[in-house]
Structure 1
Amino acid sequence: MINEIALNHGIQLIDVHSTESLNDDDRAILIEKYNLTNEILDYADDENERARFEYDEITNTYLIVYNVQNENEQTPDMSQRVLPISFAIREQKLFLFTNDATHYIKDYLISAKNHLKQTDQHEVWEFIFNTLDQISSDYSDQISEADVRRNRIQTLIKKHHSSEKQILELADLEDLTTYLNTAINGNLTVVKQLELISSGNVQDLHLNKTSREHLHDSLIEIEQIKNQVDLSSDIIDRISNTYNNILNNRTNTTMKVLTIYTIVLSIPTIVSGFYGMNMKLPVADQGWSWIFSLIITVVIILVILWDLHRRDSL
């Protein structure tokens, strides 16, 4: 579905919203009416496309593929928590390619003029940079939520209330931060490329001073978020390793206790087995022989326990 929305000062938003992928009718309209190329549409329509910045010299069209979060934060498939969207910029037209899970980005573009100065609202790139800032803020919020979950798990581990549920939740957090880290690194590469191109004479991207400063601020913000997700991911990995060490230590302790019990409980069996044999044994014919066997059993058990304690094995 294609909707045309007037943003401001002659800037037009072409909202291309697909449930799954572009249908043939929408693709034909974008090619015939708006002069977009099949190559650009293929990039924009690929749900597995990595973050990138492209420029088509023939049609003078810029393409930005950018990673954003899935609107459904509860989706069980971690690989779908981060999805690509695409911006295509041609003259004063801004094309936005989204699906059902990422269509909320349209609201960021529409509301961008509320955050821009009146003099900046005629710059199409200002709408994009403002939207990138909103996307970065979403990532920061997601990382903060992951940190809250991590702290809760860490508290439970310290209180020895850990369980299989915490193990699975830690695994989910590790997967989540991995996908977030990959997405943020891709976005950072795109913004760095934009700043590099805008500061030189390569390609036809000329930004005014305000837009260049805005782009630089966006770059700094993404770098801060990258550091934030790197730190969060590192801490989660450390907690996971600590948790594994705790579980291994518990297993070793359990096996140690079971081994000691096995050794101790085998002594009565050995002693009584000797006196159960059909052969002549010392004091076996006495009435107090069973007491004697108990004394031997207890003495052997005490000697073994003393020897284990001497070796620091208890």
Structure 2
Amino acid sequence: MIEIVKNVKNFTWYHISNLTADERQSLVYEHHLTNEMIGYAVDHNESVRMEYDHHADETLMVIDVIVHQGDDVETRPIGILFAHNDVYTFTHDPTDYIKKILLDPKNQQIRAREDEISAFDFIMTGIYSLMIKYVDEITEINKKRRIIQEHFGERKYTTKQMNDLLYLKTQMIYIQNSLANNHVMLDSFREDFKKLLKDFELEHIDDVRVEVDQAKRMANLALEVINSVSDAMGNLSNRDLNWTMKVLTVYSIVLTVPTIVSGFYGENVKWLPFAEAQSGWWVTIVITLILMGLVSILMFISGFFRK
């Protein structure tokens, strides 16, 4: 759907969600946009990038934003196209929420009056709010990680904790990668347009870059902490596994003694002690228990029972 969301003195904002084939033709023939730029803007898997077509007077910005899919947190690209003094935003269902953010961004930047604001200034102010969502999400992931750490010593939750940490780690990797790409793209945008932008517009893009850099640092630190906690839990699991293997080894050695004793007496060899005695069965049991006790004592002295 193509929707005119904002129409002010300096630009018109067209918001396009779930672009259809007919609407694409409309953008090409009525709005004079190029098929190539539209293709980049609506691609679900497009990487963060800046794309220019100076001949067609088009500048495309593809940027990753936070998306909630149920309990899952992902990052998805949106396309922002500056063309012919207007701005076009391209989204899909998961990212369509950005329209509300761009209309009413909750941030510390002061916008110019509606009859003075430029398309670039308007978009940058909204992107600032979208980048703040990264900080909020990283903070939420840190809270979940602390909750997992509270049950760190409860063995019955060990497997669940490891799975939860792996899930948080995966989310953080996606966030970290998106932030790094967004930062590179914003740096490139500022460098390419610094001679064309006004001072307050450069300040706005610098504010966004600072916010992205802060979020990136938080993501790096959060990922390091998650990795450290995950490694510690892995070491605990390995320690428990080693202890289990040691116990099984001790049991296997101790339980070898009855097999040896019964093997000797089961061969019907003459002249074995107590082999002909009526109470020989009980004597072999006593011999077996004594030997098992000696083996256990030797294992204990050697440290096999130390965890």
> What TM-score do the two structures reach when normalised by structure 1?
0.88
Partner of 1:246: helix, strand, or coil? helix
Give 1:173 deviation, angstroms. Answer: 1.5
Say if 1:261 and 1:295 are closer, same or farther in 2 by CA, change over 3 A. Answer: same
Show the counterpart of 1:99. 92
Using the alignment, how far apart are the partners of 1:83 and 1:107 within structure 2? 17
Partner of 2:33: helix, strand, or coil? coil
Show the counterpart of 1:72. 69
Using the alignment, how far apart are the partners of 2:94 and 2:281 within structure 1? 79
Using the alignment, how far apart are the partners of 2:50 and 2:239 within structure 1? 50
The residue identity in structure 1 corresponding to 2:57 is N
* Contact persistence 1:66–1:187 (CA under 8 A): yes
* Contact persistence 2:10–2:119 (CA under 8 A): no
Using the alignment, how far apart are the partners of 1:61 and 1:261 within structure 2? 76
* Contact persistence 1:156–1:162 (CA under 8 A): yes
Match of 1:186 among 181, 195, 198: 181
Bigger CA drift: 113-122 or 49-58?
A: 113-122
Does residue 285 (structure 1) correspond to residue 276 (structure 2)? The answer is yes
- Could you give the per-residue CA deviations for residues 16-39 of structure 1, whole angstroms, max 9, x where no partner exists? 111xxx322111111122111111
Match of 2:126 among 119, 131, 147: 131
- Structure 1 regions of 5+ residues with no counterpart? none
Show the counterpart of 2:28. 31
Bigger CA drift: 302-311 or 126-135?
A: 302-311
Show the counterpart of 2:224. 234
Give 1:148 deviation, angstroms. Answer: 1.5
Say if 1:58 and 1:113 are closer, same or farther in 2 by CA, change over 3 A. Answer: farther
Show the counterpart of 1:11. 11
Give 1:275 deviation, angstroms. Answer: 2.8
Say if 1:7 and 1:248 are closer, same or farther in 2 by CA, change over 3 A. Answer: farther
Give 1:284 deviation, angstroms. Answer: 2.4
The residue identity in structure 2 corresponding to 1:260 is V
Say if 1:54 and 1:232 are closer, same or farther in 2 by CA, change over 3 A. Answer: same
The residue identity in structure 2 corresponding to 1:132 is I
* Contact persistence 1:113–1:127 (CA under 8 A): no
Say if 1:62 and 1:212 are closer, same or farther in 2 by CA, change over 3 A. Answer: same
- Could you give the per-residue CA deviations for residues 229-252 of structure 1, whole angstroms, max 9, x where no partner exists? 111122222222222222222122
Q: Percent identity?
A: 29
* Contact persistence 1:44–1:85 (CA under 8 A): yes
Match of 2:170 among 168, 171, 175: 175
- Could you give the per-residue CA deviations for residues 92-125 of structure 1, whole angstroms, max 9, x where no partner exists? 3110000111011111111149963344851221
Bigger CA drift: 269-278 or 88-97?
A: 269-278
Give 1:127 deviation, angstroms. Answer: 1.4
Show the counterpart of 1:198. 193
Using the alignment, how far apart are the partners of 1:163 and 1:277 within structure 2? 50
Give 1:273 deviation, angstroms. Answer: 3.4
Partner of 2:59: helix, strand, or coil? strand
- Could you give the per-residue CA deviations for residues 241-288 of structure 1, whole angstroms, max 9, x where no partner exists? 222222222122111111211222232332233334323211223344
Using the alignment, how far apart are the partners of 2:228 and 2:80 within structure 1? 38
Using the alignment, how far apart are the partners of 1:276 and 1:112 within structure 2? 88
Using the alignment, how far apart are the partners of 1:286 and 1:125 within structure 2? 104
Show the counterpart of 2:79. 86
The residue identity in structure 2 corresponding to 1:117 is R
> Where does structure 1 differ by over 6 angstroms across 4 or more consecutive aligned residues?
none
Using the alignment, how far apart are the partners of 2:92 and 2:239 within structure 1? 48
Give 1:209 deviation, angstroms. Answer: 1.4
Using the alignment, how far apart are the partners of 2:166 and 2:214 within structure 1? 25
Partner of 1:158: helix, strand, or coil? coil
The residue identity in structure 2 corresponding to 1:307 is L
Partner of 2:80: helix, strand, or coil? strand
| CA-atom RMSD in angstroms | 2.2
Give 1:214 deviation, angstroms. Answer: 1.4
* Contact persistence 1:195–1:212 (CA under 8 A): yes
Using the alignment, how far apart are the partners of 1:37 and 1:70 within structure 2? 28
